[in-house]
Every structure is written in C-alpha cells, then in structure tokens.
C-alpha cells in the first residue's frame, strides 16, 4: 500500500559537522580588543583585585604577621596559573573567552600543573642566563646577555609546548625553531608582548614593595618621606598594564597556535589514518 504524499515524512537533512572556533578564529589584530569585552574585562578586574588582596596581606606580613605570607604566596600562584590557563583555553582547548581565575578550581589541573609548567618554561629559557650571570667575568656576563636574549625569544613557544603537553620530544630545539618559523612575523609581536609582560610585572612588584615600605614609614627620598597616595596610583597603573599585557601575550600565542598548529612539526598532534595497500594483510587483532 502506498503512503499518501501528505502524510509521508520529508527526507532528513544531511548531517554536517558544526563550525568550530578554530574555523572562525580571527587574526592577531583582533586580540587586544577581544580582551576588553565585558566578560574578559571582568576577569582582568578580578586579577587586579587578587593583587590588591595580596598587597594588603603583605602589609600585615611586613609588620610581623609572618603567617600572612602564605596567603600572599597563594595569590601569586593563582595569578601565575591563570596566565597559563589563558594560553591553554584560548589555544589547545579552542575556547574564545578568558577562563575565570582558578578555572574549575581543580588543584592539580588548574593550579599546580599550570604553575609547574610556567616554572619549567622560565627555568629552561632564562635559567642558563641567570646562572651564567653569576660568574664574575665580563665575557661570562656578555654570554649571559646573549643567552637571555635567545631564551626570551624562545619563551613563548617553550611555554606553549609545555602547556600543549603531547610529548617532551617537542622541546627539541629544531622543532621549536620550525614552529617559530611557521608562526612568522606574528611570533615577533608575541615575543615583544611576553618581554613587556615580564618587565611590567617586575616593575609592579618593585613598586608594590616600595609602597609597603612607605606605609610602614621606612621609605625616604632625599631625606623626605614619600607620599603614599601618588605612589599607590602609579603602582596600580603599572599593575593594570602588567596584567593586561600578560593576558595579551598569552592570548596572542594561543591565537598563533590556532592559526598554525596543523603545520607545527610536533609529535602526537593528530591521528593519521592510512589505508592499507591492495593485497596487504592487517595485523592480528585488527
């Protein structure tokens, strides 16, 4: 019996894969503005708040309440892990918004491992230069400057390789340099952002310490006590710039990953299916 056309089901539409964020990702020029979107800007504000809380707790620690140094350290760990989580979420995880501080609050995955990877990246890239700088020789210190420059240039790709985490063999200098070459000019801008973030964080840390010295009455300039209010204004201006620049550096490296990772010479990046040739036999168990 035939079914009337009016009651027959229409043909199902063909299944299609959803467009992923990797397919619609923009260029590097869109990253600075994206960080200022409402949700992302709120994350930046939270980061500034964490610094302010740590600053306040450090005031108690410098006045003798030594146990207050522990929550100060935890605030710094939370901030460092957040920067690495930004690189992970916007890069390998292919998300488009900044993660919240502490992400999912899973201590191993969202705090400890990110901080450990950041520590290793800094140790591998800048550790040799710092060690060589300790040698009391002009030649050794010149070599330290050269090593430090090379280390700063490799810091973004080394950190990304550790965050992506597929294989330690991807830290092979040849693979790192090929990945840098594939990223092109965008990698130079990303490296400048990393250098600026490190410099601004160092300056912010020094200014925060100076403001604490002023608050307890131990900081003088030409025999005069420095005023606290303008120093705090300058300090938190630098803090805001440092936090934004660190997010920018991580987001730029993540964007480079999403634009070029399919051409990176990295191991264990994808499964490549190979069709057996005619007449060949499959191994037992397949």
What band does 271 get if pLDDT is binned at 50, 70 and 90? Answer: low
- Would the pLDDT of 10 be above 80? no
**Which pLDDT tens digit goes with each residue over 137-183?**
888 889 999 999 999 999 999 999 999 877 788 888 999 999 999 99
- 200-229 per-position pLDDT tens digit: 999 999 999 988 888 877 665 555 677 788
| Confidence tier at 61 by pLDDT (50, 70, 90) | confident
| Model confidence, pTM | 0.82
- Report pLDDT for 228: 82
Residue 8 confidence (pLDDT) above 90: no
Average pLDDT over residues 94-106: 90
Number of Cβ atoms within 10 Å of the Cβ of 172: 15
Which pLDDT does position 275 carry in this prediction? 58
Instruction: Look at residue 264 in the predicted model and tell me its pLDDT.
Output: 87
| Cβ atoms of 231 and 210 closer than 8 Å | yes
């Amino acid at each position: 019996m035939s079914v009337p056309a009016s009651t027959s089901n229409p043909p199902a539409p063909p299944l299609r894969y959803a467009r992923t964020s990797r397919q619609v990702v923009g260029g590097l020029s869109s990253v600075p503005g994206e960080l200022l979107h409402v949700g992302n800007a709120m994350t930046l504000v939270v980061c500034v708040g964490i610094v302010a809380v740590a600053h306040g707790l450090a005031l108690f620690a410098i006045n003798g309440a030594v146990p207050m140094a522990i929550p100060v350290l935890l605030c710094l760990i939370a901030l460092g892990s957040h920067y690495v989580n930004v690189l992970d979420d916007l890069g390998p995880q292919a998300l488009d918004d900044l993660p919240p501080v502490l992400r999912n609050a899973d201590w191993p995955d969202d705090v400890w491992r990110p901080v450990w990877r950041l520590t290793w990246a800094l140790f591998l890239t800048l550790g040799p230069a710092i060690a060589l700088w300790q040698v009391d020789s002009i030649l050794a210190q010149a070599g330290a400057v050269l090593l430090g420059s090379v280390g700063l240039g490799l810091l973004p790709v080394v950190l990304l390789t550790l965050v992506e985490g597929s294989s330690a063999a991807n830290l092979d200098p040849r693979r790192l340099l090929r990945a840098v070459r594939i990223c092109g000019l965008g990698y130079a801008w990303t490296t400048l952002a990393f250098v600026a973030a490190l410099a601004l964080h160092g300056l912010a840390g020094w200014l925060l310490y100076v403001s604490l010295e002023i608050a307890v009455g131990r900081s003088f300039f030409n025999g005069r006590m420095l005023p606290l209010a303008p120093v705090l204004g300058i300090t938190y201006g630098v803090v805001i710039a440092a936090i934004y620049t660190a997010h920018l550096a991580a987001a730029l490296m993540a964007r480079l990953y999403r634009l070029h990772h399919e051409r990176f010479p990295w191991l264990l990046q994808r499964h490549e299916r190979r069709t057996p040739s005619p007449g060949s036999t499959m191994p037992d168990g397949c």
